[in-house]
Structure 1
Amino acid sequence: MGAASELHLTQPAVTKSIKELEAQLGVQLLVRSGRGVRFTDYGEILLHSARRITAEMESAEQAIAQMKSATPSTLKIGVSLLSATVPVYAALSRFRARWPQTQLEIMEGMPRQIIDSLRSGEFDLCLAFIADSDSIAEFAFIPLARWPQRLMYSGDVNDASLQALSASQWLWNHTAESWLPFWQHLAAGETSAPPRQMTLCTSWTIYRQLALEPNTVSIWPEFLLHGDNAPHALTPLRFALPEITLGFMVRRDHVFSRATEHFIECVKAELK
Protein backbone atom coordinates (compact mmCIF):
# COMPACT_ATOMS: atom_id res chain seq x y z
CA MET A 1 0.00 0.00 0.00
CA GLY A 2 2.86 2.36 0.76
CA ALA A 3 4.45 1.63 -2.61
CA ALA A 4 1.13 2.16 -4.37
CA SER A 5 0.69 5.53 -2.70
CA GLU A 6 4.26 6.58 -3.62
CA LEU A 7 3.75 5.54 -7.25
CA HIS A 8 0.21 6.95 -7.51
CA LEU A 9 -1.13 3.52 -8.47
CA THR A 10 -3.65 1.15 -6.98
CA GLN A 11 -2.44 -1.61 -4.68
CA PRO A 12 -3.60 -4.39 -7.08
CA ALA A 13 -1.62 -2.72 -9.90
CA VAL A 14 1.58 -2.81 -7.82
CA THR A 15 0.96 -6.43 -6.82
CA LYS A 16 0.40 -7.35 -10.49
CA SER A 17 3.66 -5.63 -11.49
CA ILE A 18 5.59 -7.54 -8.81
CA LYS A 19 4.05 -10.84 -9.89
CA GLU A 20 4.98 -10.12 -13.51
CA LEU A 21 8.56 -9.27 -12.49
CA GLU A 22 8.86 -12.46 -10.44
CA ALA A 23 7.50 -14.47 -13.39
CA GLN A 24 9.98 -12.80 -15.76
CA LEU A 25 12.95 -13.55 -13.46
CA GLY A 26 11.69 -16.96 -12.38
CA VAL A 27 12.34 -16.30 -8.68
CA GLN A 28 10.39 -15.06 -5.66
CA LEU A 29 11.37 -11.50 -4.69
CA LEU A 30 9.17 -10.88 -1.65
CA VAL A 31 7.98 -12.95 1.27
CA ARG A 32 4.64 -11.96 2.73
CA SER A 33 3.65 -12.89 6.30
CA GLY A 34 1.61 -11.60 9.20
CA ARG A 35 4.58 -9.48 10.24
CA GLY A 36 4.76 -7.69 6.92
CA VAL A 37 6.74 -7.99 3.70
CA ARG A 38 10.47 -8.66 3.39
CA PHE A 39 12.90 -9.31 0.55
CA THR A 40 14.18 -12.77 -0.31
CA ASP A 41 17.90 -13.14 -1.14
CA TYR A 42 16.95 -12.72 -4.81
CA GLY A 43 15.02 -9.58 -3.93
CA GLU A 44 17.99 -8.12 -2.05
CA ILE A 45 20.21 -8.57 -5.11
CA LEU A 46 17.65 -6.89 -7.34
CA LEU A 47 17.23 -4.06 -4.80
CA HIS A 48 20.98 -3.31 -4.74
CA SER A 49 21.10 -3.33 -8.55
CA ALA A 50 18.03 -1.08 -8.81
CA ARG A 51 19.53 1.43 -6.37
CA ARG A 52 22.78 1.46 -8.34
CA ILE A 53 20.92 1.98 -11.63
CA THR A 54 18.84 4.76 -10.11
CA ALA A 55 21.95 6.45 -8.72
CA GLU A 56 23.69 6.27 -12.11
CA MET A 57 20.63 7.76 -13.85
CA GLU A 58 20.52 10.60 -11.31
CA SER A 59 24.27 11.14 -11.78
CA ALA A 60 23.84 11.32 -15.56
CA GLU A 61 20.97 13.78 -15.24
CA GLN A 62 23.01 15.94 -12.86
CA ALA A 63 26.03 15.87 -15.17
CA ILE A 64 23.92 16.95 -18.15
CA ALA A 65 22.22 19.66 -16.10
CA GLN A 66 25.61 20.96 -14.95
CA MET A 67 26.90 21.04 -18.52
CA LYS A 68 23.82 23.02 -19.58
CA SER A 69 23.92 25.49 -16.70
CA ALA A 70 27.67 25.50 -15.96
CA THR A 71 26.90 24.81 -12.27
CA PRO A 72 29.70 23.32 -10.12
CA SER A 73 30.02 19.52 -10.02
CA THR A 74 30.31 17.47 -6.82
CA LEU A 75 32.79 14.70 -6.01
CA LYS A 76 31.58 12.49 -3.14
CA ILE A 77 34.29 10.49 -1.39
CA GLY A 78 33.90 7.91 1.36
CA VAL A 79 36.84 7.42 3.72
CA SER A 80 37.22 4.43 6.05
CA LEU A 81 38.34 5.16 9.61
CA LEU A 82 41.77 3.59 9.17
CA SER A 83 42.50 5.26 5.82
CA ALA A 84 41.67 8.62 7.43
CA THR A 85 44.99 8.28 9.31
CA VAL A 86 46.95 8.56 6.05
CA PRO A 87 48.09 12.16 5.44
CA VAL A 88 46.77 13.08 1.99
CA TYR A 89 46.00 16.72 2.75
CA ALA A 90 48.43 18.01 0.10
CA ALA A 91 46.53 15.97 -2.50
CA LEU A 92 43.33 17.78 -1.59
CA SER A 93 45.03 21.17 -1.92
CA ARG A 94 46.47 20.22 -5.29
CA PHE A 95 43.08 19.02 -6.50
CA ARG A 96 41.27 22.17 -5.37
CA ALA A 97 43.84 24.33 -7.14
CA ARG A 98 43.10 22.51 -10.42
CA TRP A 99 39.32 22.09 -9.97
CA PRO A 100 38.19 25.03 -7.82
CA GLN A 101 34.58 24.77 -9.02
CA THR A 102 34.21 21.12 -7.98
CA GLN A 103 32.60 20.71 -4.59
CA LEU A 104 34.20 18.01 -2.44
CA GLU A 105 32.14 15.97 0.00
CA ILE A 106 34.31 13.73 2.19
CA MET A 107 32.56 11.43 4.66
CA GLU A 108 34.26 9.14 7.17
CA GLY A 109 32.65 5.92 8.38
CA MET A 110 32.85 2.26 9.29
CA PRO A 111 33.98 -0.10 6.49
CA ARG A 112 30.51 -1.64 6.13
CA GLN A 113 28.84 1.78 6.02
CA ILE A 114 31.33 2.96 3.39
CA ILE A 115 30.76 -0.12 1.21
CA ASP A 116 26.96 0.07 1.47
CA SER A 117 27.02 3.77 0.52
CA LEU A 118 29.33 3.07 -2.41
CA ARG A 119 27.08 0.25 -3.57
CA SER A 120 23.97 2.44 -3.43
CA GLY A 121 25.63 5.29 -5.32
CA GLU A 122 25.91 7.75 -2.42
CA PHE A 123 29.70 7.91 -2.99
CA ASP A 124 31.62 8.19 -6.24
CA LEU A 125 34.63 6.39 -4.78
CA CYS A 126 35.94 5.25 -1.41
CA LEU A 127 39.41 5.38 0.13
CA ALA A 128 39.97 2.23 2.18
CA PHE A 129 42.50 -0.31 3.38
CA ILE A 130 42.05 -3.81 1.96
CA ALA A 131 43.67 -6.98 3.32
CA ASP A 132 44.56 -9.79 0.94
CA SER A 133 41.80 -11.93 2.50
CA ASP A 134 39.05 -9.32 1.98
CA SER A 135 36.42 -10.10 -0.67
CA ILE A 136 35.63 -7.05 -2.83
CA ALA A 137 34.95 -8.78 -6.14
CA GLU A 138 31.88 -6.65 -6.82
CA PHE A 139 34.03 -3.49 -6.89
CA ALA A 140 37.00 -2.32 -8.92
CA PHE A 141 40.06 -1.53 -6.79
CA ILE A 142 42.76 1.03 -7.60
CA PRO A 143 45.80 0.32 -5.38
CA LEU A 144 47.79 3.30 -4.11
CA ALA A 145 50.24 2.04 -1.47
CA ARG A 146 50.98 -1.14 0.45
CA TRP A 147 52.22 -1.55 4.02
CA PRO A 148 53.18 -4.44 6.34
CA GLN A 149 51.29 -4.93 9.58
CA ARG A 150 52.93 -5.47 12.97
CA LEU A 151 51.76 -7.29 16.07
CA MET A 152 52.57 -5.20 19.16
CA TYR A 153 52.43 -5.90 22.91
CA SER A 154 52.14 -3.49 25.81
CA GLY A 155 55.06 -4.23 28.12
CA ASP A 156 57.76 -6.90 28.29
CA VAL A 157 57.05 -10.33 26.87
CA ASN A 158 58.13 -13.41 28.83
CA ASP A 159 56.41 -15.93 26.58
CA ALA A 160 55.67 -14.80 23.02
CA SER A 161 53.90 -17.99 21.95
CA LEU A 162 50.38 -17.70 20.62
CA GLN A 163 49.13 -20.02 23.36
CA ALA A 164 50.46 -17.66 26.03
CA LEU A 165 49.36 -14.52 24.20
CA SER A 166 45.82 -15.87 23.77
CA ALA A 167 45.27 -15.16 27.47
CA SER A 168 45.94 -11.46 26.86
CA GLN A 169 43.50 -8.77 25.79
CA TRP A 170 43.51 -8.38 21.98
CA LEU A 171 42.59 -5.32 19.95
CA TRP A 172 41.14 -5.58 16.45
CA ASN A 173 40.61 -2.64 14.09
CA HIS A 174 38.81 -4.16 11.10
CA THR A 175 35.36 -5.77 10.81
CA ALA A 176 34.07 -8.42 13.20
CA GLU A 177 33.74 -10.87 10.28
CA SER A 178 37.44 -10.59 9.43
CA TRP A 179 38.69 -11.45 12.94
CA LEU A 180 38.46 -15.25 12.71
CA PRO A 181 40.16 -15.49 9.26
CA PHE A 182 42.95 -13.26 10.62
CA TRP A 183 43.43 -15.50 13.65
CA GLN A 184 43.43 -18.63 11.49
CA HIS A 185 46.15 -17.07 9.33
CA LEU A 186 48.18 -16.13 12.40
CA ALA A 187 47.80 -19.56 14.03
CA ALA A 188 48.44 -21.57 10.86
CA GLY A 189 49.80 -24.98 11.88
CA GLU A 190 48.99 -24.44 15.57
CA THR A 191 46.03 -25.52 17.69
CA SER A 192 45.73 -22.32 19.72
CA ALA A 193 42.13 -21.28 20.35
CA PRO A 194 41.17 -17.66 19.55
CA PRO A 195 41.60 -15.25 22.49
CA ARG A 196 38.58 -15.02 24.75
CA GLN A 197 39.16 -11.29 25.25
CA MET A 198 38.95 -9.37 21.98
CA THR A 199 37.89 -5.73 21.70
CA LEU A 200 36.82 -4.42 18.29
CA CYS A 201 37.70 -0.74 18.01
CA THR A 202 37.82 1.27 14.78
CA SER A 203 38.37 4.64 16.45
CA TRP A 204 42.12 5.17 16.25
CA THR A 205 42.13 7.73 19.04
CA ILE A 206 40.59 5.21 21.43
CA TYR A 207 42.52 2.29 19.90
CA ARG A 208 45.84 3.99 20.65
CA GLN A 209 44.89 4.40 24.32
CA LEU A 210 43.56 0.85 24.69
CA ALA A 211 46.73 -0.56 23.14
CA LEU A 212 48.77 0.91 26.01
CA GLU A 213 46.84 -0.95 28.70
CA PRO A 214 48.83 -3.78 30.37
CA ASN A 215 48.96 -7.20 28.67
CA THR A 216 47.32 -6.02 25.44
CA VAL A 217 48.09 -7.33 21.94
CA SER A 218 47.30 -4.95 19.07
CA ILE A 219 47.70 -4.87 15.28
CA TRP A 220 49.26 -1.82 13.60
CA PRO A 221 49.97 -0.77 10.03
CA GLU A 222 53.69 -0.08 9.71
CA PHE A 223 53.29 3.61 8.85
CA LEU A 224 51.52 4.31 12.17
CA LEU A 225 54.53 3.03 14.16
CA HIS A 226 56.70 5.98 13.12
CA GLY A 227 56.52 9.69 13.81
CA ASP A 228 55.71 11.83 16.82
CA ASN A 229 52.44 10.04 17.63
CA ALA A 230 53.83 6.51 17.34
CA PRO A 231 53.16 4.18 20.30
CA HIS A 232 56.80 3.87 21.40
CA ALA A 233 55.88 2.03 24.63
CA LEU A 234 54.82 -1.09 22.70
CA THR A 235 57.00 -4.14 22.08
CA PRO A 236 56.98 -5.73 18.59
CA LEU A 237 56.17 -9.45 18.38
CA ARG A 238 57.80 -11.67 15.77
CA PHE A 239 54.82 -12.87 13.78
CA ALA A 240 54.30 -12.63 10.03
CA LEU A 241 51.10 -10.73 9.30
CA PRO A 242 49.38 -10.19 5.94
CA GLU A 243 50.03 -6.83 4.33
CA ILE A 244 47.27 -4.29 3.74
CA THR A 245 46.79 -2.11 0.69
CA LEU A 246 45.44 1.42 0.60
CA GLY A 247 43.40 2.19 -2.47
CA PHE A 248 40.21 3.49 -4.03
CA MET A 249 37.16 1.26 -4.38
CA VAL A 250 34.72 2.16 -7.14
CA ARG A 251 31.65 0.53 -8.61
CA ARG A 252 32.55 -1.46 -11.70
CA ASP A 253 29.92 0.35 -13.73
CA HIS A 254 30.99 3.83 -12.60
CA VAL A 255 32.05 6.26 -15.33
CA PHE A 256 34.88 8.52 -14.13
CA SER A 257 34.65 12.24 -14.65
CA ARG A 258 37.84 14.17 -15.44
CA ALA A 259 37.72 15.64 -11.94
CA THR A 260 37.57 12.15 -10.38
CA GLU A 261 40.51 10.95 -12.46
CA HIS A 262 42.54 14.00 -11.44
CA PHE A 263 41.74 13.49 -7.75
CA ILE A 264 42.98 9.89 -7.93
CA GLU A 265 46.19 11.05 -9.62
CA CYS A 266 46.70 13.69 -6.91
CA VAL A 267 46.46 11.08 -4.15
CA LYS A 268 48.79 8.73 -6.07
CA ALA A 269 51.38 11.49 -6.40
CA GLU A 270 51.15 12.31 -2.69
CA LEU A 271 51.80 8.68 -1.64
CA LYS A 272 54.80 8.06 -3.89
Structure 2
Amino acid sequence: MKIKLNQLDILLEVAAQGSIGKAAKALHLTQPAISKTIQEMEAEIGMPILQRSSRGVTLNEYGQVLLRHARDIDRSLHQARDEIDNLLGKAMRQLRVGFTSAASYGPFTNTLIQFQARYPGVKLIVMEGRPQQIHDALENQRLDIAVITTANHTSQNSMYYESLYALSNTVIAGNQHPVTHTTSLKNLMDYPWLDWDEPGEHSILGQVFRRYNLPLPQNIIHCSSPWIMARMMEQTHAVSMWTSVRLRFPGYSPNLRPLVLREVLPASSIGILCPNIARLSTAGNTFMEMLRINTRDWLQDSDALEMVVRV
Protein backbone atom coordinates (compact mmCIF):
# COMPACT_ATOMS: atom_id res chain seq x y z
CA MET A 1 0.00 0.00 0.00
CA LYS A 2 1.23 3.49 -0.84
CA ILE A 3 -0.10 5.39 2.18
CA LYS A 4 1.69 8.57 3.20
CA LEU A 5 2.64 9.60 6.72
CA ASN A 6 0.42 12.69 6.64
CA GLN A 7 -2.52 10.43 5.75
CA LEU A 8 -1.79 8.31 8.82
CA ASP A 9 -1.64 11.47 10.96
CA ILE A 10 -5.12 12.37 9.72
CA LEU A 11 -6.40 8.85 10.38
CA LEU A 12 -5.09 8.99 13.96
CA GLU A 13 -6.77 12.33 14.58
CA VAL A 14 -10.12 11.26 13.08
CA ALA A 15 -10.07 8.15 15.27
CA ALA A 16 -9.23 10.20 18.36
CA GLN A 17 -11.85 12.89 17.71
CA GLY A 18 -14.65 10.70 16.34
CA SER A 19 -15.51 13.57 14.02
CA ILE A 20 -14.15 14.84 10.71
CA GLY A 21 -15.00 18.42 11.71
CA LYS A 22 -13.14 18.21 15.03
CA ALA A 23 -10.18 16.51 13.38
CA ALA A 24 -10.02 19.27 10.76
CA LYS A 25 -10.01 21.93 13.48
CA ALA A 26 -7.31 20.15 15.50
CA LEU A 27 -5.08 19.77 12.42
CA HIS A 28 -5.81 23.26 11.04
CA LEU A 29 -7.19 21.75 7.83
CA THR A 30 -10.55 21.97 6.07
CA GLN A 31 -13.20 19.27 6.33
CA PRO A 32 -13.06 18.62 2.55
CA ALA A 33 -9.30 18.05 2.84
CA ILE A 34 -9.84 15.49 5.60
CA SER A 35 -12.61 13.74 3.64
CA LYS A 36 -10.45 13.63 0.51
CA THR A 37 -7.58 12.02 2.44
CA ILE A 38 -9.91 9.36 3.87
CA GLN A 39 -11.21 8.64 0.36
CA GLU A 40 -7.64 8.30 -0.94
CA MET A 41 -6.82 5.76 1.77
CA GLU A 42 -10.03 3.84 1.07
CA ALA A 43 -9.17 3.77 -2.63
CA GLU A 44 -5.67 2.51 -1.83
CA ILE A 45 -6.84 -0.44 0.29
CA GLY A 46 -9.96 -1.02 -1.80
CA MET A 47 -12.38 -0.96 1.14
CA PRO A 48 -14.22 1.68 3.21
CA ILE A 49 -12.65 2.39 6.61
CA LEU A 50 -15.25 4.66 8.24
CA GLN A 51 -18.75 4.21 9.55
CA ARG A 52 -20.78 7.42 9.67
CA SER A 53 -23.68 8.12 12.01
CA SER A 54 -25.50 11.11 13.51
CA ARG A 55 -23.01 11.03 16.41
CA GLY A 56 -19.91 11.23 14.20
CA VAL A 57 -17.60 8.67 12.63
CA THR A 58 -15.97 5.46 13.83
CA LEU A 59 -13.49 3.11 12.19
CA ASN A 60 -14.83 -0.19 10.88
CA GLU A 61 -12.85 -3.44 11.04
CA TYR A 62 -10.68 -2.45 8.07
CA GLY A 63 -10.07 0.96 9.57
CA GLN A 64 -9.15 -0.58 12.92
CA VAL A 65 -6.44 -2.68 11.29
CA LEU A 66 -5.03 0.40 9.59
CA LEU A 67 -5.28 2.38 12.84
CA ARG A 68 -3.33 -0.25 14.80
CA HIS A 69 -0.44 -0.12 12.38
CA ALA A 70 -0.65 3.69 12.15
CA ARG A 71 -0.14 3.86 15.93
CA ASP A 72 2.87 1.54 15.66
CA ILE A 73 4.37 3.73 12.94
CA ASP A 74 3.68 6.90 14.93
CA ARG A 75 5.40 5.45 18.01
CA SER A 76 8.38 4.38 15.90
CA LEU A 77 8.66 7.85 14.37
CA HIS A 78 8.59 9.46 17.82
CA GLN A 79 11.31 7.09 18.99
CA ALA A 80 13.34 7.91 15.90
CA ARG A 81 12.89 11.63 16.57
CA ASP A 82 14.07 11.21 20.16
CA GLU A 83 17.13 9.26 19.01
CA ILE A 84 17.94 11.85 16.35
CA ASP A 85 17.43 14.65 18.90
CA ASN A 86 19.90 12.95 21.18
CA LEU A 87 22.41 12.53 18.37
CA LEU A 88 22.07 16.17 17.36
CA GLY A 89 22.05 17.38 20.94
CA LYS A 90 18.65 19.07 20.66
CA ALA A 91 16.36 17.09 22.96
CA MET A 92 17.11 19.24 26.00
CA ARG A 93 20.40 20.78 24.95
CA GLN A 94 19.42 23.40 22.39
CA LEU A 95 16.33 25.48 21.59
CA ARG A 96 16.09 28.01 18.75
CA VAL A 97 13.31 30.54 19.33
CA GLY A 98 12.14 33.29 16.99
CA PHE A 99 10.03 36.30 17.92
CA THR A 100 8.65 39.56 16.59
CA SER A 101 9.36 42.71 18.60
CA ALA A 102 5.72 43.26 19.64
CA ALA A 103 5.60 39.69 20.96
CA SER A 104 8.63 40.24 23.19
CA TYR A 105 6.77 42.35 25.75
CA GLY A 106 5.40 40.64 28.85
CA PRO A 107 5.22 36.83 29.10
CA PHE A 108 7.70 36.00 26.33
CA THR A 109 10.73 37.65 27.93
CA ASN A 110 9.74 36.31 31.35
CA THR A 111 9.56 32.81 29.87
CA LEU A 112 13.05 33.11 28.38
CA ILE A 113 14.43 34.17 31.76
CA GLN A 114 12.66 31.37 33.65
CA PHE A 115 13.56 28.73 31.07
CA GLN A 116 17.24 29.64 31.18
CA ALA A 117 17.23 29.64 34.99
CA ARG A 118 15.51 26.26 35.19
CA TYR A 119 17.49 24.60 32.37
CA PRO A 120 20.93 26.26 32.34
CA GLY A 121 22.34 23.39 30.28
CA VAL A 122 20.10 24.17 27.31
CA LYS A 123 21.69 26.42 24.70
CA LEU A 124 19.17 29.15 23.87
CA ILE A 125 19.36 30.77 20.43
CA VAL A 126 16.88 33.66 20.15
CA MET A 127 16.26 35.55 16.90
CA GLU A 128 14.11 38.65 16.29
CA GLY A 129 12.54 39.28 12.89
CA ARG A 130 9.43 40.23 10.99
CA PRO A 131 6.66 37.59 10.73
CA GLN A 132 7.57 36.46 7.21
CA GLN A 133 11.26 36.18 8.10
CA ILE A 134 10.38 34.08 11.15
CA HIS A 135 8.03 31.91 9.07
CA ASP A 136 10.74 31.28 6.48
CA ALA A 137 13.26 30.36 9.20
CA LEU A 138 10.80 27.83 10.65
CA GLU A 139 10.19 26.33 7.21
CA ASN A 140 13.93 26.03 6.59
CA GLN A 141 14.52 24.48 10.04
CA ARG A 142 16.66 27.34 11.30
CA LEU A 143 14.19 27.79 14.19
CA ASP A 144 12.28 25.29 16.33
CA ILE A 145 9.47 27.51 17.60
CA ALA A 146 8.40 31.15 17.39
CA VAL A 147 6.17 33.70 19.08
CA ILE A 148 4.91 36.02 16.37
CA THR A 149 2.54 38.85 15.57
CA THR A 150 -0.09 38.25 12.91
CA ALA A 151 -3.01 40.33 11.69
CA ASN A 152 -5.12 37.47 10.29
CA HIS A 153 -4.93 35.05 13.28
CA THR A 154 -3.92 32.16 11.04
CA SER A 155 -0.78 30.35 10.06
CA GLN A 156 0.43 29.36 6.60
CA ASN A 157 1.41 26.12 4.93
CA SER A 158 -0.32 23.97 7.57
CA MET A 159 2.03 25.01 10.39
CA TYR A 160 0.75 24.66 13.94
CA TYR A 161 -0.52 27.98 15.31
CA GLU A 162 -1.82 28.68 18.81
CA SER A 163 -3.13 32.14 19.67
CA LEU A 164 -2.12 33.48 23.10
CA TYR A 165 -3.70 36.94 23.16
CA ALA A 166 -4.51 39.90 20.91
CA LEU A 167 -3.20 43.47 21.10
CA SER A 168 -4.95 46.63 19.98
CA ASN A 169 -3.37 48.76 17.25
CA THR A 170 -3.11 52.53 17.09
CA VAL A 171 -1.57 55.18 14.85
CA ILE A 172 1.44 56.86 16.48
CA ALA A 173 3.00 60.27 15.80
CA GLY A 174 5.57 62.56 17.38
CA ASN A 175 4.49 65.09 19.99
CA GLN A 176 5.08 67.88 17.48
CA HIS A 177 2.74 66.43 14.85
CA PRO A 178 0.18 69.04 13.68
CA VAL A 179 -2.83 66.69 14.05
CA THR A 180 -4.10 67.01 17.63
CA HIS A 181 -7.82 66.25 17.24
CA THR A 182 -9.85 63.18 16.24
CA THR A 183 -9.10 62.43 12.62
CA SER A 184 -9.43 59.69 9.99
CA LEU A 185 -7.08 57.58 7.90
CA LYS A 186 -8.11 59.59 4.84
CA ASN A 187 -6.93 62.83 6.49
CA LEU A 188 -3.55 61.25 7.24
CA MET A 189 -2.82 60.01 3.72
CA ASP A 190 -0.75 63.07 2.76
CA TYR A 191 1.69 62.58 5.63
CA PRO A 192 4.70 60.24 5.37
CA TRP A 193 3.96 56.77 6.73
CA LEU A 194 6.34 54.27 8.29
CA ASP A 195 5.39 50.64 7.66
CA TRP A 196 6.95 47.49 9.11
CA ASP A 197 6.63 45.42 5.93
CA GLU A 198 6.59 46.06 2.22
CA PRO A 199 3.13 46.13 0.57
CA GLY A 200 1.55 42.70 0.41
CA GLU A 201 -0.51 40.27 2.42
CA HIS A 202 1.85 40.56 5.42
CA SER A 203 1.61 44.36 5.69
CA ILE A 204 -0.76 45.39 8.49
CA LEU A 205 -0.90 48.88 6.99
CA GLY A 206 -1.95 47.47 3.63
CA GLN A 207 -4.66 45.35 5.25
CA VAL A 208 -6.10 48.32 7.15
CA PHE A 209 -6.25 50.60 4.10
CA ARG A 210 -7.89 47.82 2.05
CA ARG A 211 -10.40 47.31 4.84
CA TYR A 212 -11.61 50.91 4.44
CA ASN A 213 -11.33 50.92 0.62
CA LEU A 214 -8.54 53.48 0.63
CA PRO A 215 -5.46 53.54 -1.60
CA LEU A 216 -2.12 53.27 0.13
CA PRO A 217 -0.45 56.61 0.97
CA GLN A 218 2.00 57.76 -1.68
CA ASN A 219 4.90 58.27 0.73
CA ILE A 220 5.65 55.05 2.63
CA ILE A 221 9.00 54.22 4.18
CA HIS A 222 9.46 50.55 5.06
CA CYS A 223 11.47 49.98 8.21
CA SER A 224 11.63 47.02 10.60
CA SER A 225 13.38 48.93 13.41
CA PRO A 226 11.04 50.51 16.01
CA TRP A 227 13.95 52.60 17.35
CA ILE A 228 14.57 54.20 13.95
CA MET A 229 10.83 54.68 13.45
CA ALA A 230 10.56 56.46 16.78
CA ARG A 231 13.44 58.81 15.97
CA MET A 232 11.91 59.62 12.56
CA MET A 233 8.50 60.39 14.07
CA GLU A 234 10.13 62.63 16.68
CA GLN A 235 11.85 64.72 14.01
CA THR A 236 9.29 64.66 11.15
CA HIS A 237 5.53 64.57 10.62
CA ALA A 238 5.63 60.84 9.80
CA VAL A 239 3.05 58.52 11.34
CA SER A 240 3.02 54.75 11.87
CA MET A 241 0.73 51.97 13.05
CA TRP A 242 1.93 50.27 16.23
CA THR A 243 0.55 47.67 18.59
CA SER A 244 -0.40 48.92 22.04
CA VAL A 245 2.71 47.49 23.71
CA ARG A 246 5.27 49.51 21.77
CA LEU A 247 4.90 52.73 23.74
CA ARG A 248 5.71 50.63 26.84
CA PHE A 249 9.22 49.96 25.54
CA PRO A 250 11.87 52.12 27.30
CA GLY A 251 12.67 55.37 25.56
CA TYR A 252 9.67 55.49 23.20
CA SER A 253 6.84 57.15 25.11
CA PRO A 254 8.24 60.61 26.09
CA ASN A 255 8.26 61.99 22.54
CA LEU A 256 5.50 59.94 20.89
CA ARG A 257 1.72 59.88 21.25
CA PRO A 258 -1.25 57.98 19.80
CA LEU A 259 -3.60 59.74 17.40
CA VAL A 260 -7.35 59.35 17.90
CA LEU A 261 -9.01 57.86 14.79
CA ARG A 262 -12.63 57.50 13.78
CA GLU A 263 -11.86 54.11 12.25
CA VAL A 264 -11.60 50.94 14.33
CA LEU A 265 -8.26 49.28 13.68
CA PRO A 266 -8.01 45.46 13.67
CA ALA A 267 -6.20 43.75 16.51
CA SER A 268 -2.91 41.88 16.11
CA SER A 269 -2.73 38.36 17.45
CA ILE A 270 0.29 37.14 19.39
CA GLY A 271 0.71 33.39 19.09
CA ILE A 272 2.98 30.37 18.99
CA LEU A 273 4.06 29.03 15.61
CA CYS A 274 5.94 25.81 14.90
CA PRO A 275 6.21 23.53 11.87
CA ASN A 276 4.67 20.44 13.53
CA ILE A 277 3.50 20.27 17.15
CA ALA A 278 3.78 16.47 17.13
CA ARG A 279 7.45 16.66 16.13
CA LEU A 280 8.44 19.44 18.55
CA SER A 281 11.43 18.57 20.74
CA THR A 282 11.26 18.14 24.50
CA ALA A 283 12.84 21.58 24.96
CA GLY A 284 10.28 23.14 22.62
CA ASN A 285 7.33 21.55 24.38
CA THR A 286 8.69 22.62 27.76
CA PHE A 287 9.16 26.21 26.60
CA MET A 288 5.66 26.28 25.11
CA GLU A 289 4.04 25.07 28.33
CA MET A 290 5.96 27.63 30.39
CA LEU A 291 4.85 30.36 27.97
CA ARG A 292 1.20 29.30 28.27
CA ILE A 293 1.37 29.52 32.08
CA ASN A 294 3.16 32.89 32.06
CA THR A 295 0.66 34.25 29.55
CA ARG A 296 -2.28 33.13 31.68
CA ASP A 297 -0.80 34.89 34.72
CA TRP A 298 0.14 38.03 32.77
CA LEU A 299 -3.38 38.40 31.37
CA GLN A 300 -4.63 38.88 34.94
CA ASP A 301 -2.37 41.92 35.49
CA SER A 302 -3.68 45.47 35.13
CA ASP A 303 -0.77 46.12 32.76
CA ALA A 304 -2.18 43.58 30.28
CA LEU A 305 -5.80 44.66 30.69
CA GLU A 306 -4.94 48.10 29.27
CA MET A 307 -3.54 46.63 26.03
CA VAL A 308 -5.17 43.28 25.36
CA VAL A 309 -8.23 43.01 23.13
CA ARG A 310 -10.79 40.42 24.15
CA VAL A 311 -11.66 38.40 21.02
TM-score by length of 2: 0.58
Separation of aligned partners in 2, 1:173 and 1:58: 41
TM alignment of 1:39-188, pairs within 5 A: 62-65=84-87, 73-84=93-104, 88-132=108-152, 136-154=156-174, 155-157=177-179, 160-177=183-200, 178=203, 179-185=205-211, 187-188=212-213
**Quick one: which of 216, 219, 239 aligns to 2:241?**
219
Match of 2:230 in 1: 208
Structure 1 residue 113 displacement after superposition: 2.4
1:160, CA displacement in angstroms? 2.4
Please tell me whether the aligned partners of residues 82 and 202 of structure 1 are also in contact (alpha carbons under 8 angstroms): no
Unaligned 5+ runs, structure 1: 1-55
Distance 2:117 2:143 in 1: 22
1:197 partnered with 2:219: yes
Amino acid at match of 2:194: L
Q: Which residue of 2 aligns with 1:4?
A: none
Structure in which a larger fraction of residues adopt strand:
1
- Equivalent of 2:293 in 261, 269, 272: 269
2:282 — aligned with what? Answer: 258
Structure 2 unmatched runs, 5+: 1-77, 299-311
Match of 1:231 in 2: 253
> 1:114 offset after TM fit, Å?
1.7
Any conservation in 2 of the 1:132–1:242 contact (CA below 8 Å)? no
Task: Please tell me the root mean square deviation across aligned C-alpha atoms, in Å.
Answer: 3.1
Q: Percent identity?
A: 21
What is the number of residues matched between the two proteins?
Answer: 211
Q: Say if 1:81 and 1:202, in contact at 8 Å, map to a contact too.
A: no
1:157-180 Cα distance to aligned partner (Å, 9 max, x none): 168243331110111123431243
